[in-house]
Copies of this chain bind each other. A is one copy, B any other.
Amino acid sequence: MMEDIIKKLRAARKTKGFTQGALGAKMGLPQSHISQIEAGKIDIRLSSFLEMARLLDLEPMLVPRSLTPAVRSMLSGDKEKTSQPAWQPDNDTEELS
């Protein structure tokens, strides 16, 4: 069970059209190291993980378990069917048209 969160980094890199070499250059790491990371062969340090995520415009966040379904539905744009409504917007300001 390779860490799922690492797969997201690879997917994000491809989406942005970066090669392993290009991403490595931004991080000051060799392409070979990026390969190892994405393949789940090494257990990288937190600072490396954070740096890599941010270079891919991803912000690592800690979400309370009880809120993860709501957050996930936001991220995937799903038409969610949560038993408890995930969230309700404020209605205290004028909305855009």
Contact = CB atoms under 8 A, between A and B. Distances in A.
A57 B47 CA distance: 22
Interface of A: 3, 5-6, 8-9, 12, 43-47, 49-50, 53, 57-68, 70-72, 74-75, 79-81, 84-90, 92-93, 95-96
Contacts of A95: 85
Given A3-B50, A57-B64, 8 more contacts: A5-B61, A43-B46, A49-B49, A58-B62, A58-B65, A67-B75, A81-B93, A87-B89
Contacts of A60: 5, 60-63
Contacts of A45: 43-46
Nearest to A70: B74
